[in-house]
Structure 1
Amino acid sequence: MAAVAAGAADEAGETVAPYRPGYELVAEQLLQYIAAEGLRPGDRLPTEQGLAEILGVTRNVTREAVKVLSALGRVSVRRGAGIFVAESNGVLADAELANFQPTDMEQVLMLIDYRQFTEAETARRAATSATPVQVRAIRDSAKTSLDAGIADDIDTFGAADAAFHTAIAAAAGNVFLQASVANTRKFAAQSDVLLFHGDAAGSLSDAGAQHVEIAEAIAAGDSELAATLMVAHIDTTRAQFEHRIRTRLFSRLTD
């Protein structure tokens, strides 16, 4: 397949995503293989060489793909034993989720829809139940994310973003909602890695500004505004993912 040059434009005049490393494409194919074979957590996978032959790629690329999926918690490599579909201790470890495809538009949009539902509720509840200490944590992480966004510091922004959403979930006062938010963010992180490979999905400063607006609504005790702003915030995420996935699909068609 031919590489798509970074900055190339598609037929609609939109920028095509930079070329994706081969190991990311193979990681995606490997997840699809696991799903197609109906493999469950704990099931053993073929060797690196066996996977390379099945997927029609080199062993070196397969090894890098396995490393990526191991870091994401989707496979586990046991020295002397082999490669296995990773076990999950998460609340969302149902069979239906064991084969989540981080680059499949339908599944990613379902995840975002669920995230929007749960995080709107955590924001609503946080506005009525957050303690002063929790409000301060929400505000501080929101401000840090905005400052990092303006500075285009993606690492600091990522940490502040996680702290912001985690703080709101904790302030909601429901451990099941808190666990749900934590686990859906883990799934979303898999899509971040395989779709954005370290790049920002959208404007960090805009996302930081949205965080600050949500934090102020929670601090003011305005539950409906907090929920509405959170819905809008995750709608922005939805649009970014849709654009990136469509760009990826377009680049495949033009290869």
Structure 2
Amino acid sequence: MPFQPVTAEKLAAAVVRQIEQLILRGILRPGDRLPAERELSERLGVSRPSLREAVAELQDRGLLSSRAGAGVFVADVLGNAFSPALTRLFASHEDALFDYIAFRRDMEGLAAARAATHGSDTDLELVDTIFRKMEGAHSKRDPSEEAALDADFHMAIVEASHNVIMLHMMRSMMDLLREGVFYNRSVMFRRRTTRDMLLDQHRAINDGLQARDPEAARGAIEAHLNYVRASLAEQREADRHEDVARLRLQQEVGR
């Protein structure tokens, strides 16, 4: 017969499973520091030896890492999504930029539709809260805060889709954006007209989500990223024209 005796689960195994779920769902993120051993054991309601056993197992699995004198941290499990060599290759080829935007458009469009349908009221409140912060930052002369909130806004939508595979894949993609591998978002936000257009586009995305209209949310995401693609193409063309103009000027001055 295929039956096995039922045994009580070890406390350490329950702790492992809980921390795994927090990492899987993106609640604990790479680089997050776990509370001190005493505090965490009290929160979990387990003994410190059981907690140490669980932490050791998670370290063996590569999900946690310890730093001498600093504590235990969630490992940078996303760091291997793209090798440094591939990241440099992305940065040096224009085709990669437009493929990146097309990929984001398709995946984030799907995420927005899922978020409008599957996101909880709290998920959508978080998206709305970030958008309101974007509105507040919009009036500031320095665009860096608004640009940073832009990435947070898009990531909150992916999180609200409640698909853990999409969550971790898109988090690694957004890290490339934050690091400026493909383009510097702050450059786009410097032009007032462009900055106003971007805010209006994010408002349309938020409106679609808050109305729980998956088609409106998806369409707004796609329209936004199509605009980003067109704006970057225009900027790169303008940069090329400027390079040619400088060469002509140098030639003329040198005559």
TM-score strictly above 0.5:
yes
Query: Could you say which residue in structure 2 is the equivalent of 1:183?
Result: 172
Aligned alpha-carbon RMSD (Å): 2.9
1:106 and 2:84 aligned: no
Contact 2:127 2:206 in 1 (8 A): yes
Q: Distance in 2 between matches of 1:194 and 1:123?
A: 21
Cα distance per residue 1:202-252 (max 9 Å; x no partner): 622221221122112111111011000000011111011101211222223
- Give the drift of 1:95: 9.0
After TM superposition, list the pairs within 5 Å mapping 1:89-168 onto structure 2: 89-90=78-79, 92-93=81-82, 97-102=86-91, 104-168=93-157
Scaled by the length of structure 1, what TM-score is found?
0.58
1:241 and 2:241 aligned: no
Contact 2:189 2:195 in 1 (8 A): no
Q: Distance in 1 between matches of 2:176 and 2:85?
A: 13
Amino acid at match of 2:122: V
Q: Distance in 1 between matches of 2:196 and 2:223?
A: 15
Give the number of the structure whose residues are more often helix, by fraction.
2
The residue matched to 1:125 in structure 2 has which SS?
helix
Q: Distance in 2 between matches of 1:104 and 1:247?
A: 17
The residue matched to 2:184 in structure 1 has which SS?
helix
- Give the drift of 1:101: 3.5
Q: Distance in 2 between matches of 1:227 and 1:197?
A: 22
Query: Could you say which residue in structure 2 is the equivalent of 1:42?
Result: none
Distance 1:197 1:235, change over 3 A: closer
Which of 226, 240, 243 is the matching residue for 2:217? 226
Name structure 1 gaps, 5 residues minimum.
1-86
Distance 1:196 1:158, change over 3 A: closer
Query: Could you say which residue in structure 1 is the equivalent of 2:55?
Result: none
Which of 182, 190, 196 is the matching residue for 1:205? 196
Q: Distance in 2 between matches of 1:211 and 1:194?
A: 15
Divergent runs of 4+, >4 A: 197-202
Identity %: 20
Contact 1:138 1:167 in 2 (8 A): yes
Q: Distance in 1 between matches of 2:129 and 2:142?
A: 17
Q: Which has the higher contact order (CA 8 A, sep 6+)?
A: 1
Q: Distance in 1 between matches of 2:153 and 2:186?
A: 23
Scaled by the length of structure 2, what TM-score is found?
0.58
Number of residues of Structure 1 aligned to a counterpart in Structure 2: 169
Query: Could you say which residue in structure 1 is the equivalent of 2:4?
Result: none
Q: Distance in 1 between matches of 2:193 and 2:181?
A: 17
Amino acid at match of 1:224: E
Contact 2:78 2:168 in 1 (8 A): no
Name structure 2 gaps, 5 residues minimum.
1-75, 248-255
- Give the drift of 1:89: 4.2
| More displaced stretch, 205-214 vs 169-178 | 205-214
Q: Distance in 2 between matches of 1:219 and 1:252?
A: 45
